Structure 1
């Protein structure tokens, strides 16, 4: 028996390990996660998602649904800390080209139990002002 090692150096996210309970992915910068490319938020309706910043800079942006619409906020990630995105919270990552994140989530997380919210110009401007 040997110890397995996983890596991913391309743009975007790739699941590098998965079993019946959870999955681990590596998420690197991609244009859609740049401050100039952000255009949507996502949410996973049944599962939490964990992020760990290992390199670079990342701001987690998120939105809570209120009676008057979405209320946006952000958290600047700190390397080595674990950040938990609760199930059903709208969120996305704003990264720079040198950024690398580790993500951990339930292996059943998929687009079948997740949603994508396309942002309008005012919402994008709101998010950019937070970052």
Structure 2
């Protein structure tokens, strides 16, 4: 619904979609998508120019942050089993990814110009992916 007084929007499909863009900020939704299952994740991403906020609305989501060396090799992974209605602010320059349970919904707040041009990725290998699977199994078993 859109009027001159109020705009109401939502997103119920799989994956990511912006729902509000205004001047310098964006609100987006991330819903369960199978490519974010722990055994299918293929990269960590960081945002060079901004922090990014995540709020779990329903389901389960694990937020993974990678500590990287000066050659952008992942040397450690820190994870949080997100709690509903808590705010998780990933600081600028921190490599991160996440896995969601089926039915999960995450609200995202970020700069409106956040895109692949200012969000480099580190592709991960089988060893790192296996760590993500092990962490997920441990937290959700």
Superposed pair shares fold, TM > 0.5: yes
Decide whether the 8 Å contact of 1:73 with 1:130 is kept in 2.
Answer: no
Shift of 1:93: 1.1
Matched, 1:55 2:58: yes
Task: Indicate the SS of the match to 2:11.
Answer: coil
Decide whether the 8 Å contact of 1:41 with 1:92 is kept in 2.
Answer: yes
Name 1:26's counterpart in structure 2: 29
- Which one of 104, 121, 127 corresponds to residue 122 of structure 1? 127
* Structure 1 runs (4+) greater than 6 angstroms displaced: none
Matched, 1:38 2:41: yes
Shift of 1:67: 6.3
Q: Deviations over 1:26-78 (max 9, x none)?
A: 10011111123212111111110000000100000110113694211100100
CA distance in 1, matches of 2:101, 2:107: 15
Report 1:64-103 matches (<5 A). 64-66=67-69, 69-70=73-74, 71-103=76-108
RMSD value over aligned CA atoms? Answer: 1.4
Decide whether the 8 Å contact of 2:46 with 2:92 is kept in 1.
Answer: yes
- Scaled by the length of structure 2, the TM-score of the pair is 0.87
Task: Indicate the SS of the match to 1:46.
Answer: coil
Report how many residues are paired: 131
CA distance in 2, matches of 1:84, 1:33: 20
